[in-house]
């Protein structure tokens, strides 16, 4: 069967023929028993412990009470070696500093720089809301589909709703696109927003796109607009900045060149209202969100991969780690947010987005698996050939919307220009990686940067690799839409010795 496929690309609407995929099959990825740890960031006996105990019973989990400073937690994590960790936290404690400390902690259980366990945050405006968030994962929303609500400009002719789909490899995810006219709170289309939200509430996956603040989307839905709606059991992804904030947030005040501490009330926090409305998994940012359309690709992978929410978020965090490695760090880096701290007016675009790269959070049970796997539909295909002393990995993004998976939101080219990426993970044997290079790619012989690093996870050695290119011109973009983005990584290896694997490996080709 052929159906029309609509998706927005660089301000245009394309129509493409695509074969509709079959029904999902049972997923075997998460069948083995997993070690689950609940970490309550408050004293024992607090009302929020009801949410903690609900998780303990559901997952036969271990349970710790730890102060928000996280003292002694790393030793516990190394001893228990959990696969999943749920951090139960009150809304006035969850902020970007806590999220950064937990991200750093999650990379320190073993020696490699990557995230060692899947995790998420359980919170709510009160204990009842936190318990509701845990129980929201009991719901089942059936086959995946995506509703995307985006805010257009004042120059767009009118608000509109379009039925379409987002492509996978050999399959599609049904989608509905809502585009609201007016890109400010003063010019937003009140009637369209009011009409659209009840329809959004019926969607298994909700994607929200605009600029944002803790109270919601600029020109789009606010916390008050979704009050009383039933999103029970849905997955929501919010591209808008600050929409994961539950109380404390930090804003760049360029008039004074100082970082300013702000607070949002529980009544106007978009995040707390999403929890009240029954969303079971909510991906959002506690600070500015780096640019790029990659969260659209995230939505399609949530719909098709069969992964748990926590594993999906762990892979997102690993991509952030890899970006920091490419930038010259040995591990993920961040600065503590302090009220009144001086801002650097001379930052490059890359430095700005890297500073905000660690602000993402998953709100919800990390072990929740919302959808079964759609086999053999991942848009990125990697084929590996193994020879004596050499591995060859051919990577191809096989969908016309390749920019959903290939846009590089963090490692700007020359520190300031937008870029494309090829990123993949392959399993490697017990051998050392001596050199990684890109021998060919569909953009031709162009300058590029490359980084690779080894992760030890669940008894396997995984090699993460990423190549970054300058953003191509329109002619090359058209060719990539027709043929896909592809490249070949060649990894030279040597037998494993007692020497530590050098981490990471970096290459830059400037001509």
Q: Is 397 helix (H, G, I), strand (E, B) or coil?
A: strand
- Give every CB contact of residue 252 below 8 A, 6+ residues apart in sequence: 259, 260, 288, 343
Question: Secondary structure of 31-99 in the HEC alphabet?
Answer: CCCCCEEEEECCCCCCCCHHHHHHHHHHHCCEEEECCCCCCCHHHHHHHHCCCEEEEECCCCCCCHHHH
Identify which has the larger pLDDT, 489 or 293.
489
Question: What tokens appear for 211 in the block?
Answer: 């600029």
> What is the domain partition of the chain in residue ranges?
33-373, 380-510
Identify which has the larger pLDDT, 443 or 379.
379
Question: What tokens appear for 99 in the block?
Answer: 């999220």
3-state helix, strand, coil in the chain (%, to 5): 20, 35, 45
The Cα–Cα gap between 129 and 47 comes to: 11
Q: What is the pLDDT of residue 505?
A: 85
Q: Let me know if 79 is exposed, middle or buried by CB neighbors in 10 A (0-12, 13-18, 19+).
A: exposed
Q: What is the pTM of this model?
A: 0.92
Q: Say whether pLDDT at 372 is over 60.
A: yes
Question: What tokens appear for 479 in the block?
Answer: 């060719």
Question: Mean pLDDT over residues 6-20, rounded?
Answer: 33
Backbone angles phi, psi at 436, to 5 degrees: -130, 130
Strand partners, 421: 468
H/E element holding 200?
Answer: helix 190-200
- Split at pLDDT 50, 70, 90, the class of 108 is very high
Q: Say whether pLDDT at 423 is over 90.
A: yes
pLDDT digits (tens, 9 = 90+) for 445-481: 788 899 999 999 999 999 999 999 887 777 777 777 7
The Cα–Cα gap between 248 and 270 comes to: 13
417-428 vs 460-470, strand pairing mode: antiparallel
What distance lies between CA 436 and its chain's CA centroid?
26
Q: Say whether pLDDT at 8 is over 60.
A: no
Q: Is the separation of the CB atoms in 313 and 285 below 8 Å?
A: no
- Give every CB contact of residue 7 below 8 A, 6+ residues apart in sequence: 13, 14, 164, 165, 166, 167, 175, 177, 401
* Residue given tokens 């870029």 in the structure block: 419
Report the sign of the C-alpha dihedral through residues 97, 102, 103, 108, in that order. Answer: positive
């Amino acid at each position: 069967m052929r159906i029309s496929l609509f998706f927005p690309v660089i301000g245009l609407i394309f129509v493409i023929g695509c074969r509709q995929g079959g029904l999902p099959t049972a997923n075997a990825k998460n069948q083995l028993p997993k070690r689950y740890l609940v970490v309550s960031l408050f004293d024992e006996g607090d009302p929020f412990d009801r949410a903690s105990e609900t998780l303990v019973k559901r997952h036969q989990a271990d349970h710790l009470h730890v102060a928000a400073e996280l003292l002694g937690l790393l030793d516990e994590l190394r001893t228990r070696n959990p696969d999943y960790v749920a951090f139960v936290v009150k809304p006035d404690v969850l902020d970007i500093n806590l999220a950064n400390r937990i991200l750093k902690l999650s990379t320190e259980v073993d020696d490699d720089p990557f995230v060692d366990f899947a995790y998420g945050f359980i919170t709510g405006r009160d204990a009842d809301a936190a318990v509701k968030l845990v129980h929201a994962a009991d719901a089942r929303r059936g086959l995946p589909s995506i509703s995307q609500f985006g805010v257009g400009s004042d120059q767009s002719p009118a608000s509109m709703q379009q039925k379409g789909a987002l492509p996978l490899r050999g399959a599609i995810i049904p989608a509905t696109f809502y585009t609201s006219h007016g890109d400010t709170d003063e010019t937003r289309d009140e009637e369209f927003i009011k009409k659209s939200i009840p329809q959004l509430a019926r969607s298994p996956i909700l994607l929200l796109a605009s600029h944002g603040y803790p109270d919601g989307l600029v020109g789009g839905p606010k916390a008050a607009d979704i009050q009383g709606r039933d999103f029970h059991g849905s997955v929501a992804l919010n591209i808008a900045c600050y929409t994961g904030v539950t109380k404390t947030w930090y804003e760049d005040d360029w008039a004074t060149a100082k970082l300013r501490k702000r607070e949002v009330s529980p009544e106007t926090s978009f995040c707390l209202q999403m929890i009240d409305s029954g969303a079971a998994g909510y991906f959002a940012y506690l600070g500015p969100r780096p640019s790029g359309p990659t969260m659209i690709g995230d939505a399609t992978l949530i719909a098709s991969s069969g992964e748990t929410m926590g594993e999906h978020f762990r892979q997102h965090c690993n991509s952030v780690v890899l970006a920091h490695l490419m930038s010259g760090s040995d591990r993920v880096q961040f600065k503590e947010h302090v009220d009144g701290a001086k801002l650097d007016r001379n930052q490059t675009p890359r430095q700005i987005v890297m500073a905000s790269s660690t602000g993402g959070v998953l709100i919800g049970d990390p072990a929740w698996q919302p959808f079964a796997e759609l086999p053999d539909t991942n848009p990125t295909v990697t084929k590996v050939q193994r020879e004596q002393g050499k591995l060859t990995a051919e990577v191809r993004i096989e969908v016309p919307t390749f920019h959903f998976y290939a846009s590089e939101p963090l490692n700007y080219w020359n520190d300031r220009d937008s870029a494309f990426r090829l990123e993949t993970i392959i399993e490697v044997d017990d051998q050392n990686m001596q050199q990684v290079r890109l021998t060919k790619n569909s953009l031709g012989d162009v300058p590029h940067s490359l980084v690779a690093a080894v992760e030890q996870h669940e008894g396997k050695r995984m090699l993460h690799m990423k190549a970054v290119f300058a953003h191509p011109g329109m002619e090359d973009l058209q060719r990539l839409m027709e043929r896909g983005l592809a490249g070949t990584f060649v990894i030279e290896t040597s037998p494993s010795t007692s020497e530590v694997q050098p981490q990471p490996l970096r290459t830059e080709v400037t001509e």
